[in-house]
Amino acid sequence: MNTLWPRIEPLLDRVEKPARYIGMERGMRRPQHDAERVSWLLMYPDTYEVGQPNQGLQILYEILNERPDALAERTFAPWIDLEGELRAHDLPLFSLENHVAASEFDVLAFNLAAELTYTNVLNCIDLAGVPVRAAERGPRDPLVMAGGHCTYNPEPMADFVDAFAIGDGEELAGEITEVIGAWKARGARHREAVLHELATVPGVYVPSMYEVSHEGPFQVLTPRFADVPAMVDKRTVADLGDWPYPKNQLVPLVEVVHDRLNVEIFRGCTRGCRFCQAGMITRPVRERPADQVRTMVEEGLSRTGYDDVSLTSLSSADFSGVDGLVADLVNEQSGCGNVSLSLPSLRVDAFTVGIASEIQKVRRTGLTFAPEAGTWRMRQVINKLITEEDLYAAADAAFAAGWRRLKLYFLTGLPTEMDEDTLGIAELAKNVVEIGRGYTKKASCTASLGGFVPKPHTPFQWFGQNSVEEMARKIGLLRTALRATRADLRWHDPEASFVEGIASRGDRRVGAVIERVWRRGGVFQEWSEHFRLDLWLEAMAEAGLDPDWYVTRHREEGEPLPWDHVSAGLHSDFLWLDWKAALAEHGLPDCRWTPCYDCGVCTDYALEHVVASATPPAGGSQGTGQDLARGGAVPVVISTPGAFGRLSAPDARRTAESSEG
């Protein structure tokens, strides 16, 4: 183990925010390397400030360092100034703990959380001194692995990554360690041997173990060996209570995004928002026992010194018994003084505002809701079943409780979206401001507009994304509609959404495009000041690929999809039926509290929802204001007759009963 610190230190006097590269956070380990252990370098391909708060990275960091046969260090994408210094001084990418060269590790493990970071992955591999293409690596090179949500379509990165880990990593990281450890013990001679063995670990996808052929324009994969699976199923941790991680969340010395104690209260989401890949691929819902949440909050605060804790999940107000949990935490923390609690991803209703008031007794400045679409029709299409009344009641409650600034998240470019749906966003924002003006002249509302990018393993995976021009036109409609009003509009660059669309549903051929963009200096593409659409279009053209075929084209039923060999447990006919139901403007209830509609995950993987309390959250489960515990019904038609053919007879009967209630 050779530390590069003496050579790196002089460079840090010349770069921005040098503290990003020193490590030294509270909770950091400085593991000793030895040949017996499998050494992992956990990498997030963006800056330290963006990557360090990633909970997956922190969980794996602890789990691996607790194992006697493994060790883990971290690194992030160096900012452009340090990259220049490293290259000028012939120094490689290094780890933050021991400042060891990245190439000294057995595994370079990337977290793929956003498609626009793909070129940074290549840059990091190259800075490590490792060939960027998997096929060109030798036995002495580290294994390049990747996990995270983007790996549910691994194909665009398949040329560069030796093995993908799909799904929850808690158990998988250990199994991978054992395979690599045994291979090292045998002398680590043949890379092909370890890759073949890794391909047999459930949840691991090794691109080089498959033959690629084409049916017309469509890619088809065939396993090269009998023991390599044709379908790679995601891994799922059955009970979050078994994994109380991170136990020692690192406390960064520099300010990072989400700079606070983060306690994951549940994983998975069954609200069924059709645009949301995270909700689809992380099923079923696994709530952490409330006692464990309380312990993790208490211990975390007293160990880190943070005065801010966030209860994280995909929809935190949906945690069963959330009101009791919040009340307990607020009471327990009130002695320590000025600890603030936050629930991200708030549901839109007055009940949620009640919880928010409970936890945010001071600093009531801004509150954020995500209605996602401007009209009820549109929200039925995307299955975000919030009525206008829900939103206005929530806004009224928020302003009445002293909040002055509301932020509303919306998507544009959704399936079947018409101009009246887009303009509905302006109406909602304007009405929210008016409600606020009844309380304070300082009331304001910001509508934040994202461009919708269809994602694999969702009912919208067949939908042709809006073109740049169409998204820009819709943004223009809203800018005009909100001009000279008291509501503000913020929007995401449609060109960046377009490139995200190329990578999101791309196949293996897109790899060459990513490589070309990287070779021409296209790094940090998720940073608007570095984003370059021209590089992507040029690279697509040179690779002979039509961007519209990937991005704006509607997929046909039964068309081979590049991610067909990866399974999140969702039956493709479930997704197709849900897509049809979306087009028919039919919503679908949250299956935690209503009968199973058999998406496939629980049944195929023998899993169950794990809830912390048998009581559904007060205020209803789909943001409809309906309290299902009191026997209320979800006020939507659940399915077109025959659309959900898989619904079993007893379930169908119960569904019919509850919709009459």
Partner 1 sequence: MKGDRGFPVRLRFTKRGRVRFISHRDVARALERAFRVEGLPLAFTEGFAPRPKVSFGLALPTGYESDAEYLDAGLTEEVDLDDLITGVSASLPEGMGVADAVFLEPRAASLQRAVTSVSYVVQAVWSGDDARDPSDVEAWIQNTLRADALPVVVQRKGTEVIEDLRPAILHLSIGSTGVPDETPEGPVREGPIPERHVTEGVTLQLEVSTQPKSIRPTEVLGTLDAGPERPFRAGNGLRVATIVRTAQWIERDGSRLCPLEADTRQRAEVGAR
Interface with partner 1 includes 24 (CB under 8 A)?
A: yes
We find the least distance from the C-beta atom of residue 289 to partner 1, in angstroms, to be: 26
- Span of 171-179, 248-256, 517-525, 601-609 interacting with partner 1 by CB under 8 A: 248-256
Nearer to partner 1, 9 or 557 (CB): 9
Nearer to partner 1, 17 or 580 (CB): 17
Q: How many CA atoms lie within 13 A of 99 on its CB side?
A: 14
Q: Of 494, 477, 373, 479, give the one whose Cα is nearest residue 425.
A: 373
β-bridge partners, 219: 214
**Cα–Cα distance measured from residue 330 to residue 659, given in angstroms and rounded to the nearest whole number:** 37
The distance of Cα 164 from the centroid of its chain, to the nearest Å, equals 16
Write the CB contacts of 195 (distance below 8 Å, at least 6 apart in sequence). Answer: 143, 162, 163, 206, 208, 209
25-64: contacts with partner 1 (CB under 8 A): 25-26
Contact code string over 255-294 relative to partner 1, x by CB under 8 A: x---------------------------------------
Among 52, 119, 151, 304, binds partner 1 (CB under 8 A): 304
The total of other beta-carbon atoms located within 10 Å of residue 6's CB is 8
Nearer to partner 1, 251 or 489 (CB): 251
Token digits of residue 630: 């009191």
Applying CB under 8 A, what is the total number of residues that bind partner 1?
A: 29
Among 1, 9, 291, 648, binds partner 1 (CB under 8 A): 9
Token digits of residue 585: 């403007």
- Grouping H, G, I as helix, E, B as strand and the rest as coil, residue 450 is strand
Nearer to partner 1, 14 or 479 (CB): 14
351-380: contacts with partner 1 (CB under 8 A): 362-363
Nearer to partner 1, 364 or 377 (CB): 364
Nearer to partner 1, 247 or 654 (CB): 247
Interface with partner 1 includes 306 (CB under 8 A)?
A: yes
Write the CB contacts of 568 (distance below 8 Å, at least 6 apart in sequence). Answer: 152, 167, 234, 280, 281, 283, 457, 601
Nearer to partner 1, 13 or 556 (CB): 13
Instruction: Find out whether the peptide bond into 456 is cis, omega within 30 degrees of 0.
Output: no
Interface with partner 1 includes 519 (CB under 8 A)?
A: no
Among 302, 334, 480, 648, binds partner 1 (CB under 8 A): 302
Token digits of residue 14: 């010349």
Between vectors from CA 451 to CA 448 and to CA 457, what angle results, nearest 5°?
Answer: 120
**3 to each of 32, 96, 102, 105, 470, how far by Cα in Å?**
12, 10, 11, 13, 52
- Span of 240-248, 252-260, 409-417, 545-553 interacting with partner 1 by CB under 8 A: 252-260
**Cα–Cα distance measured from residue 253 to residue 251, given in angstroms and rounded to the nearest whole number:** 7
- Span of 22-30, 32-40, 471-479, 538-546 interacting with partner 1 by CB under 8 A: 22-30
- Grouping H, G, I as helix, E, B as strand and the rest as coil, residue 590 is coil
The total of other beta-carbon atoms located within 10 Å of residue 142's CB is 22
Nearer to partner 1, 68 or 335 (CB): 335
We find the least distance from the C-beta atom of residue 292 to partner 1, in angstroms, to be: 22
Nearer to partner 1, 73 or 106 (CB): 73
Interface with partner 1 includes 138 (CB under 8 A)?
A: no
We find the least distance from the C-beta atom of residue 538 to partner 1, in angstroms, to be: 37
Between vectors from CA 513 to CA 468 and to CA 511, what angle results, nearest 5°?
Answer: 120
We find the least distance from the C-beta atom of residue 493 to partner 1, in angstroms, to be: 28
| Class of residue 442 by CB neighbours under 10 A (exposed 0-12, middle 13-18, buried 19+) | exposed
Among 68, 138, 187, 337, binds partner 1 (CB under 8 A): 337
- Asked if 144 contacts 133 with a C-beta cutoff of 8 angstroms, the reply is no
Contact code string over 205-244 relative to partner 1, x by CB under 8 A: ----------------------------------------
**Cα–Cα distance measured from residue 461 to residue 557, given in angstroms and rounded to the nearest whole number:** 11
We find the least distance from the C-beta atom of residue 301 to partner 1, in angstroms, to be: 8
Token digits of residue 135: 């096929």
β-bridge partners, 213: 220
- Span of 111-119, 323-331, 334-342, 631-639 interacting with partner 1 by CB under 8 A: 334-342
Residues at the contact surface with partner 1, assessed by CB under 8 A: 5-6, 9-10, 12-13, 17-19, 21-22, 24-26, 251, 253-255, 302-307, 336-338, 362-363
